[in-house]
A and B are shown apart, each in its own frame.
Chain A
């Protein structure tokens, strides 16, 4: 019995998945040809699972800014924000993000995961209550584990259920924080944020929205779901990431709360980790500008998303409830999902295999994420490959749909 013995079951589960073909957890690209194409085992492969929503990873102006910063400021800050890790660029990016969202304050984190982990776990203290949607991202669940606050889950995307749970503790004197996401990362479903905002107002609680998958995707200027449905005034904290629409890595939180800056000396996942390299900050500053300069990227993204969503649905596949850049096909068994995923990869289409327990309702998902940089032809090829593999495997999508429901 080694210290790793507790993971025996997990290891067996992993080997079963990896043993069925390629190991989905260690797919390695030899080269990236563009935001939407990579080389995998000597084969050109369409990338349909990278969250690269605006396709800015190869934007020349972003690359130029990154190279410039790399030359001027070096490869890394080699320190945390509160020690030696804040350069002009970090402060500038915080100013620009605050301006983009029309908010007073912004804090930049080294990853999106740390942004959720740090902000949520620091906002609520031992006398407070934290309310989570049951389909929350792992970073939100991990924040819940770190906080001494009481943590209460409510049913996914169910404002009435949240309301009921808030009413149960109406007399509790502590502060209450509700956390929801704009677009959920597995199925691409959208939170009923207008209704959540109403529950928030009626109960006098704080509301945090994680716009990781909706920044640059939803809203008139790309600020996300809160902007799209006109409830930004009800949202006290917006958390987001640089690793999706902005094409890099990092995370942030914006807020209008007075004295928000005290978080800089209270929030441990902000304080005790090295800050982002100046080159990453520089590419993010530029990609945030690109996001604002070119609303056409967002329109192309949504057109591509609709094309893929409709195409797969018309084949008879069961897709998520909303048309979004995340299009997930639900298959009736883990085994079929693994086989299907392997066959698509052999055909030159990369997407994400998402399996329980990381998925809602223990679904087995082929999860795609669409980019503005995809050509119409690439989207159509993806749909054709889904149809081809289904035929080869003798899977009738319409029957799959019935079985999965």
Chain B
């Protein structure tokens, strides 16, 4: 995994810990919908926070493909690369 993606993972985890009602250990492999108990709407709302932090728009169909924190970081990295 590239440094860029690692940095993104760290930022995501930091933002996520602030959002979650109960403390959870989050890693690259954590499944966003299964392990965090977030419904699809909560995931989309969290993604908006990330969009602002990374100044990137993540289309909904890309969010649908994301399973883990690592996937999300790679998606953001790709979208930033294209920007």
Contact = CB atoms under 8 A, between A and B. Distances in A.
B49 to A, nearest CB: 10
Given A168-B55, A168-B56, A153 B44 contact: yes
Contacts of A123: none
Contacts of B61: 150-151
Interface in A149-193: 150-153, 155, 165, 168-169
Nearest to A361: B45
B40 A357 contact: yes
Interface string A131-159: 00010000000001000001111010000
A151 B83 CA distance: 17
B59 A134 contact: no
Contact of A152 (B42, B55, B60, B83): B60
Given A134-B48, A153-B48, A155-B48, A168 B40 contact: no
Contacts of B58: 152
Given A152-B57, A152-B60, A153-B60, A134 B44 contact: yes
Interface of A: 134, 144, 150-153, 155, 165, 168-169, 356-357, 362
A144 B59 CA distance: 11
A151 B59 CA distance: 5
Contacts of A150: 59, 61
B33 to A, nearest CB: 12
Nearest to B83: A168
B24 interface: no
A311 to B, nearest CB: 31
B41 interface: yes
Given A134-B44, A144-B60, 19 more contacts: A134-B45, A150-B59, A150-B61, A151-B60, A151-B61, A152-B58, A152-B59, A153-B44, A153-B48, A153-B60, A155-B48, A165-B51, A168-B55, A168-B56, A168-B57, A169-B57, A356-B39, A357-B39, A357-B41
B18 to A, nearest CB: 17
7 contacts: A151-B60, A152-B58, A152-B60, A165-B51, A168-B55, A168-B83, A357-B39
A330 B36 CA distance: 26
A354 to B, nearest CB: 14
A152 B55 CA distance: 13
A362 to B, nearest CB: 8
Interface in B5-48: 39-42, 44-45, 48
A120 to B, nearest CB: 13
B39 A165 contact: no
B58 to A, nearest CB: 8
A313 to B, nearest CB: 27
Nearest to A150: B59
A151 B51 CA distance: 14
A165 B45 contact: no
Contacts of A168: 55-57, 83
A134 B42 CA distance: 11
Contacts of A152: 57-60
A185 B20 CA distance: 28
A362 B57 CA distance: 24
A198 B7 CA distance: 37
A153 B45 CA distance: 9
A116 to B, nearest CB: 16
Contacts of B51: 165
Nearest to B45: A134
Contacts of B57: 152, 165, 168-169
A150 B59 CA distance: 6
Nearest to B60: A151
B37 to A, nearest CB: 11
A319 B73 CA distance: 39
Contacts of B45: 134
B17 to A, nearest CB: 19
A389 B56 CA distance: 48
